[in-house]
Amino acid sequence: MNLTKTDFKEYLQCRESFWLKKKRPEDYKEGEFSLFLEKLIADGYEVEEYVHKLFPGGVDLEGDEATLLQETEKLVACADNPACAGSPIFQATFKTDKGLFIKIDILNFNKETKKWDIYEVKASSEIKTDVQHNHIKDITFQTIVAERARIPIGESYIIHINKEYRRDGELDLRELFVFANVTEDVREGREEVNSEIDGALALLEQDSISMTSCGCLYKSRAQGCDMFEFFNPQVPKYSVHNLFRGKKLRLLVDESIFKITDIPDDFKLTDRQEEQVTLQKTQIPLIDKAGVEETLSHLRFPLYFLDYETFGKPIPLLDKYNTNQQIVFQFSLHVLEEDGTLKHFEYLAEDMENATSGLVKALREHIGPVGSIIVWYESFEKGRNKELAELHPECRDFMEDVNSRVFDLMKVFKKDYLHPGFNGSASIKKVLPVLLPELSYKSLDIQDGTMALTEWERMLAKHTVREHKEEIKNNLLKYCKLDTLAMVKIFEFLRK
């Protein structure tokens, strides 16, 4: 039974879930493989392909496990042979007697040290060391396993995106990527990781474990494993794990308090936690009518309800773009006059290069010099507006004026209108079905932003036939239109 880097990461997150997946796969249910996760994986492969260009003569290994191991062994064996020239190996594969199994992004022979240097490629713009993503542990695992497979390892590097890079013409790959030597970090952490690897191997030797709970019972909801409900069926979907973490969560769990309604009245809470606990116990919305009226009184007609859809990749696709910068390819705009007249305008780019120039032009045609501009989660729209001002300096004054008039409707649902059905969230996807269940995304072919950007990319693809392009276009327009219509209806609900 193999223990891969992915397995090891799952072991670090939750030992019980890891054991179940490896030993009783018939009982293990994978977490939702979302389009967002699928996109991250695809982006990672794309970044690797660009990095490969910095290692000329590299050999890209493909095939099943046996083929990969055999080809790797051949290339490693002749590394110091002038006839082989010690070519860099992409996806060098090793397996130890105990089943430790790795594929190394890039393995490069250092002719001076006579050792192999390891390069781990990351699509992120920094080295992460948090609980969910620890890049140092990733490469330490790779280094240790390679050494246990009797490969002399020299330096360890993490290659990641340079967040300061801005494209200007052809990609400058040496400026685009950062080569971080983390050899010392690996040395410092190897004892701990060695111990964790041995712990994972020892756990795999066990034929049974306690199935009554898992370690995630003491973690917040966001940090829980995919099998949390399987191991902890006594915990409701919206529970104390959604409100607490650390010491407070431990205190409640130790008392077998999982329902928010069971939290003792004298339990110490923050103001926000107290609001959420009160909502769940009373099942009565907390509405500050005066606060809502005061907030809405500052709005000026006509009201412009604006929403963007964006597309981005780690590698900048166009000139003037930074790494990971979003291309704004679509907007929906509902304009509400004081007399109740409602008009709708929209824009959807049909090519990537001219996406934002056409979008800014359309915005200028439909947004007048007076009136509040209503969005949901203002930091997103404001951020894109600032970027549009940089990309189109001739429109800078207009975009800055737009930002000066932005009002974030979501703030009302963070402060003045709280509902038990929101489950602590102010997302429009949580607010809308509670306040206006007749308006739903469920009937749409596109139901979230990740689906939208994926479909837009498919719409632009040369291999997509015209009929499908038109179908995708209509689906995108319907989705974005509902975003702004939902804001209009929520605003009208609040006014009543």
Under the banding of pLDDT at 50, 70 and 90, the label for residue 439 is very high
Under the banding of pLDDT at 50, 70 and 90, the label for residue 84 is low
For residue 478, give both structure tokens.
């319907």
* Pairing between β-strand 303-311 and β-strand 373-375 as defined by DSSP bridges: parallel
What pLDDT, on a 0 to 100 scale, did the predictor assign at position 82? 62
Average of per-residue pLDDT across 106-124: 95
Checking if the pLDDT of 64 tops 90, the result is yes
What pLDDT, on a 0 to 100 scale, did the predictor assign at position 219? 96
What pLDDT, on a 0 to 100 scale, did the predictor assign at position 305? 98
What pLDDT, on a 0 to 100 scale, did the predictor assign at position 112? 92
What pLDDT, on a 0 to 100 scale, did the predictor assign at position 31? 65
Under the banding of pLDDT at 50, 70 and 90, the label for residue 322 is very high
Strand partners, 166: 322
Computed over every residue of the chain, the mean pLDDT equals: 95
Under the banding of pLDDT at 50, 70 and 90, the label for residue 32 is low
Token match 């632009």: residue?
Answer: 460
Burial class (CB in 10 A: 0-12, 13-18, 19+), 132: exposed
Average of per-residue pLDDT across 156-181: 97
The percent of residues in the chain predicted with pLDDT above 70, rounded, is 98
What pLDDT, on a 0 to 100 scale, did the predictor assign at position 214? 96
Checking if the pLDDT of 218 tops 70, the result is yes
Instruction: Compute the half-sphere exposure of residue 104: CA atoms within 13 Å on the CB side of its CA.
Output: 33
Checking if the pLDDT of 298 tops 60, the result is yes
What pLDDT, on a 0 to 100 scale, did the predictor assign at position 83? 60
- pLDDT tens digits, one per residue of 260-272: 999 999 999 999 9
Token match 């969005």: residue?
Answer: 375
Average of per-residue pLDDT across 319-345: 97
What pLDDT, on a 0 to 100 scale, did the predictor assign at position 109? 94
Under the banding of pLDDT at 50, 70 and 90, the label for residue 104 is very high
Q: At what angle do helices 378-391 and 355-366 cross, to 10 degrees?
A: 110
What pLDDT, on a 0 to 100 scale, did the predictor assign at position 38? 84
- DSSP of 380-427: HHHHHHHHHHHH-GGGHHHHHHHHHTEEEGGGHHHHTEE-GGGTT---
What pLDDT, on a 0 to 100 scale, did the predictor assign at position 85? 61
Please tell me what DSSP assigns to residue 326. Answer: P
The three-class DSSP label of residue 117 is strand
Under the banding of pLDDT at 50, 70 and 90, the label for residue 19 is very high
What pLDDT, on a 0 to 100 scale, did the predictor assign at position 78? 83
Average of per-residue pLDDT across 68-85: 82
Checking if the pLDDT of 187 tops 80, the result is yes
What pLDDT, on a 0 to 100 scale, did the predictor assign at position 80? 67
